[in-house]
A and B are shown apart, each in its own frame.
Chain A
Amino acid sequence: SQQGEEDPQALSIQEGENATMNCSYKTSINNLQWYRQNSGRGLVHLILIRSNEREKHSGRLRVTLDTSKKSSSLLITASRAADTASYFCATDGSGAGSYQLTFGKGTKLSVIP
């Protein structure tokens, strides 16, 4: 099955800096989603971008999608200590079985106060 792969695996930044995480995937998609997971908790949906969109914003989050390169990036601006978490991208299938989301292994972000 197709899979999103996040890069880098871990990222450590100072509070106030921007954080950029990347996701690559292998086959065609209908949409791509980003989730956040705090340690020991469930995932929280952040943003969904459709295959016909190139950029989407939500508060301090900016997501881009390049379907020709099969890649997406998540930018968190003006990071805060509370942004410390793991971030996952998830892709669906463009054909049958698209109820299934395939998650990458995540980027672990540490924001140092």
Chain B
Amino acid sequence: DGGITQSPKYLFRKEGQNVTLSCEQNLNHDAMYWYRQDPGQGLRLIYYSQIVNDFQKGDIAEGYSVSREKKESFPLTVTSAQKNPTAFYLCASSTSGGGQPQHFGDGTRLSIL
């Protein structure tokens, strides 16, 4: 079955530590996205990538980094510079072209130890 796989489901970060969230898709989609969701809130865009080897900052990119070396993979690193990383992180993908329906993974919940 085609879909998006996020791992791990739960992640704990120590002070000063960088952590990387995995996102893999087998939908053959060109575009991929990372969102942050805080309790009772909507989704806020962190980064998005329209094509391999290219990505753009979203509304809240500070303290995060991404790479897009393969079409299937779009990992997100939460760096130590992100002072409030506790949130639910969602990865999504879509076909190329703006405003397309997005397919989501089941998220990674990140907490601070």
A41 touches B107 (CB 8 A): yes
Please classify the interface of chain B as helix (H, G, I), strand (E, B), loop, or mixed, using the class held by over half of its residues: strand
Which of B31, B42, B101 interacts with A104 by CB under 8 Å? B42
Are A44 and B99 CB-contacts (below 8 A) given A88-B43, A99-B50, A100-B48? Answer: no
Query: Nearest residue in B to A48 (C-beta to C-beta)?
Result: B101
Total residues of chain A contacting the partner, CB 8 A = 25
A50–B104 CA distance with the chains assembled, in angstroms: 21
B40 touches A42 (CB 8 A): no
A97–B42 CA distance with the chains assembled, in angstroms: 19
> With an 8 A cutoff between CB atoms, is B58 at the interface?
yes
A45 touches B99 (CB 8 A): no
B104 touches A100 (CB 8 A): no
Which of B45, B58, B101, B106 interacts with A42 by CB under 8 Å? B106
